[in-house]
Structure 1
């Protein structure tokens, strides 16, 4: 069988370098659509993108040297001991005086308060008992 006899065997189309250059140039025009250029030429846009990549890679890119970056500079550091203020020694808590006992009879109830008792606590207890009576 010949290659021409079998319809399933397709030959790859070969495009001339001039055709490729023309399409690449048209696709590189600012505002041009690569897909539209490829469609007008009857080729796949992926093929035109590949030609563009090849064209752009062979173009000489002007090598502008990068501005020199300043190298990091290390500065000497001197650590000085800061004067430490002496910590105040904990003051001993004022010794508690031995507390006595307070007994209160209110409304048939007897309340005994032992030790140091503050005024607010006594007031609270008395108000509660008064409310319950």
Structure 2
């Protein structure tokens, strides 16, 4: 079974991680995860160097960005189209059964088709 080796990190790497942790709104766990480290390890580096972790720091009150007053925005809707009349047929001839919808404007074509189908 291969033995696990401890990873060693340079002081420059540790300092870059520590400085990333001091950025506003950044979590130690997030910085650790981004660098492939355990958050407890990063907290230890902070403690060893006398840097207070962000969770213990007095956080400055962050005021939300001013938002515009909500206001009424008129919306025009297209009038609903009236349902177009259709011819609905339920026709059976032997074992064949048809349910059919045909536009009313083409009633004569519907009649011609129906006469041909029934012939």
With normalisation by structure 1, the TM-score equals 0.37
User: Which is richer in strand?
Assistant: 2
Question: Larger relative CO (CA 8 A, sep 6+): 1 or 2?
Answer: 2
